[in-house]
Amino acid sequence: MSEADTAWIETALTSARPQAVGALLRYFRDLDTAEEAFQNACLRALKTWPQNGPPRDPAAWLIMVGRNVAIDEVRRARKQAPLPEDDQAISDLDDAEGALAERLDGSHYRDDILRLMFICCHPQLPATQQIALALRIVSGLTVKQIARAFLVSEAAMEQRITRAKAKVAEAGTPFETPGAVERSERLAGVAAMIYLIFNEGYSASGDTAEIRKPLCEEAIRLARLLLRLFQSEPEIMGLTALILLQHARSAARFAADGSLILLEDQNRSLWNGTMIAEGLALIDKAMRHRRSGPYQIQAAIAALHARAPTPEETDWAQIDLLYGALEVVQPSPVVTLNRAVAVSKVRGPQAALDLIEPLAPKLANYFHFYGVRGAFLMQLGRNDEARIAFDRAIALANTSAEAAHIRMHIDRLIRDNQPKGADGNPKQGTKAK
Amino acid sequence: MLYAILCYHDEDFVGSWSKDQDEAVMKKLAVVQDKLTQQGRLGPVARLLPTTAAATLRKEDPPLVLDGPYAETKEQLLGFYIVDCKNLDEALDVARDLGAVNPGGAYEVRPVGVFRPGGLSA
């Protein structure tokens, strides 16, 4: 078997994974057993598929084989007989099973996957454990891959996942088919988990962006999968659109030295056009439902940025309105802070500053608050106050890229504050007060 | 005789391709396409965005817009248009106009991801 063949079989296994593990979980009601059964089925697939060709329905094949292997193992353990050779134990599961598997009932498909995702975003788990568990169980990333993406040691990640699994087992999970209300609650939880995975990858700094990109790509894959299961849910369209539109800019977000490039300074030709097209198509469709929600509104904002051929052509007035709508459905000082940027473009820096001043007590430790505040003050020519805000931002910066970005602002201030030479470039004087 | 070749595949599978795998496939397809182009035998080539990006207009009165490719399986794909539109609303307007003169069935409106016009004159 060539390396390329193995890669394609692995892709088939990855794509079948949520459905297969979901169905095995329904049989065995235990994450570890389901996962182990799936892994055994995968080993079997790696042996037989290259010879016999892949089955017509890989997921059904994996479910059937995984279930039989696990049942065999339970029987064997019960008899306490010495373990026979792998091949002998499962020799009766040959292609006859493949044919059977193809007739497997597909009606549970959607609920199985939703249940699998739902278990991973169990509300009793902290966000980091939810994400780790989902990447392990639903996506099938190795502990090593997940540890790398989170920039922690393999041992620490192993422990995090083991703890999450123990908590899930302890909490007990409802396995009955969810009703309409329950399903929509679960759906919201699953959407939030996918969003978290994406943000984990998106918030990377320049030097970790490449390492964490797989998190964003996996979040997109999961969002598309969820949307295929719930094709008429506008918020799932919104979520998928949002992360596609954000990720479309990834090639333009960092300079060669790892520093962050602001939206308005990004080289738009580096944006991924196909991803933008898909995101725009989805948000267009979502809006027709007239049931807006936070993901849709955020996606609509991202869409306005994506649609502008140049930064100057950005429809800031519309963005201001959308942030206003977001403040209603999801009030938060951070949303207001973002809105202030749009307000500054539409009504000037003073109006924007007035909007964010009341947020100071709530955002006293928030890096972006001081960065944005400093920028408004700078535009108003209040350079000393701007400098104080930027200094505070640097102290609160989470990544070296953030700090470097603010330092660039400060350098600009220092440059502008220098006594003007004969060329007389009175930048301060022309600023509107 | 012109033949349309319609591409079907499992979206779960294609969606799990890595960027490298996807690019490798597209590169190999381009080789086949280039050969046909040189022979003057290739018309338009389009890669569609995922089915989740599609909307379907049922040509009832009034026409009904649904999410996704929900055209019933008893209906068969009989042809397709490629139309340049600003957004989904505009595309649906075109579909509505077409539907008004061609009753029954449905139109799936599916954004195109890649389009090459080709050089074939039918």
Residue contact A11–B13, C-beta within 8 A: yes
Q: Which of A15, A277, A285 sits opposite B16 (nearest CB)?
A: A15
**Chain B residues in contact with A16 (beta carbon < 8 A):** 12
Q: Per the structure, how many domains does chain B have?
A: 1
Least confident of A94-103, A412-421, B2-11: A94-103
Indicate yes or no: CB of B111 within 8 angstroms of CB of A277.
Answer: yes
Q: What is the pLDDT of residue A106?
A: 65
Mean pLDDT value across residues B42-58: 92
| Number of other residues whose CB lies within 10 A of the CB of residue A177 | 15
B84: contact with A, CB 8 A cutoff: no
Chain B residues closer than 8 Å to A277 by CB: 49, 111, 113
Most confident of A54-63, A79-88, A371-380: A371-380
Q: Which of A160, A166, A140, A122 is nearest to A21 (CA)?
A: A140
User: Distance (Å, rounded) from C-alpha B15 to C-alpha B11?
Assistant: 6
Q: What is the pLDDT of residue A2?
A: 66
**Residue A418: predicted pLDDT:** 65
Residue B25 lies in a domain: yes
Q: Tell me, yes or no, whether B39 lies in a domain.
A: yes
| DSSP assigned state of B108 | E
Q: Does B17 touch chain A (CB under 8 A)?
A: yes
Give yes or no for a contact between A376 and A352, defined as CB atoms under 8 angstroms apart.
yes
Q: What is the DSSP string of B58-93?
A: E-SSS-EEEES----TTS----------SSHHHHHH
CA distance B78 to chain A (A): 24
pLDDT of A83 above 70:
no
Using the Cβ of A122 and the Cβ atoms of chain B, whether some distance falls under 8 Å is answered with no
Check whether A428 has a pLDDT greater than 50.
no
Q: State chain A's mean pLDDT as an integer.
A: 87
Q: What is the per-residue pLDDT for B103?
A: 73
Is A228 within 8 Å of B111 when comparing Cβ atoms?
A: no
User: If contacts are CB pairs under 8 Å, which of residues 262-321 in chain A contact chain B?
Assistant: 274, 277-278, 280-282, 284-285, 288
CB contact set of B78 (below 8 Å; sequence gap of 6+) = none
Tell the residue number behind the tokens 């509104």, with chain if given. A297
CATH of the domain at B32: 3.30.70.1060
The structure tokens listed for A192 are 């939030």
What integer pLDDT is reported at residue A146 of this predicted model?
Answer: 94
**Percent share of chain B, pLDDT over 90:** 35
B11, B15, B53 ranked by CB distance to A282: nearest:
B53
Which of B82, B71, B79 lies closest to B104, judged by CA? B71
Cα A303 to Cα A297: distance, rounded to the nearest angstrom: 10
Pick from B11, B21, B55: CB nearest A228: B11
Asked if residue B60 has pLDDT above 90, the reply is no
pLDDT exceeds cutoff 80 at A91: no
Q: Which domain holds residue B100?
A: 2-48+75-111
Cβ of residue A12 closer than 8 Å to a chain B Cβ: yes
Which residues of A fall within a CB distance of 8 Å from B113? 274, 277-278
Interface of A with B in 83-102 (CB under 8 A): none
Report whether A165 contacts A133 (CB < 8 A).
yes
| Residues on chain A touching B67 (C-beta within 8 angstroms) | 231-232, 237, 285
B8 and A CB contact within 8 Å: no
Residues above pLDDT 70, as percent of chain A: 89
pTM as predicted: 0.87
DSSP run (H or E) holding B114 = strand B112-116
Higher pLDDT pick, A371 / A258: A371
Q: Give me the torsion for CA of A163, A165, A167, A169, rounded to 10°.
A: -150
SS3 A416: helix
Residue of B nearest to A214 (CA): B18
Cβ within 8 Å, pair A284-B67: no
Q: Which residue out of A5, A21, A228, A296 would a mutagenesis test of the B interface target, given it has the greatest number of B Cβ atoms within 10 Å?
A: A228
Paired residues of B57 in beta bridges? B65, B107
pLDDT band at B105, cuts 50/70/90?
A: confident
Q: Report pLDDT digits (tens) over A12-28.
A: 999 999 999 999 999 99
Q: What is the pLDDT of residue B62?
A: 86
Q: Is residue B52 within 8 angstroms of chain A, CB to CB?
A: yes
Residue A101 scores a pLDDT above 90: no
Q: What integer pLDDT is reported at residue A431 of this predicted model?
A: 38
Terminal C-alpha separation, chain B: 9
Mean pLDDT of B27-42: 91
**Degrees (nearest 5) of the Cα angle A396, A402, A405?**
120
A94 pLDDT higher than 70: no
Classify residue B58: in a domain, yes or no: no
- SS3 for A314-380 is CCHHHHHHHHHHHHHHCCCHHHHHHHHHHHHHHHCHHHHHHHHHHHCCCCCCCHHHHHHHHHHHHHC
Residue A425's pLDDT is 47
Tell me the pLDDT tens digit for each residue of A223-275. 999 999 999 999 999 999 999 999 999 999 999 888 889 899 999 999 999 99
Higher pLDDT, A247 or A184: A247
Half-sphere exposure of B102 (CA within 13 A, CB side): 12
Asked if A266 and A249 count as a contact pair (C-beta separation under 8 A), the reply is yes
Residue B118 included in any domain: no
Residues of B in contact with A281 (CB under 8 A): 49, 53, 88, 111
Asked whether the predicted pLDDT for residue A412 surpasses 50, the reply is yes
Residue A56, chain B, CB below 8 Å: the answer is: no
- Residue B57's closest CA among B67, B47, B72? B67
pLDDT higher than threshold 70 for residue A131: yes
What does DSSP say about strands B64-67 and B112-116: parallel, antiparallel, or unpaired?
unpaired
Determine, yes or no, domain membership for B61: no
Parallel, antiparallel, or unpaired for β B64-67 and B106-109? Answer: unpaired
pLDDT for the residue A61:
92
A224 close contact with B: CB closer than 8 A: yes
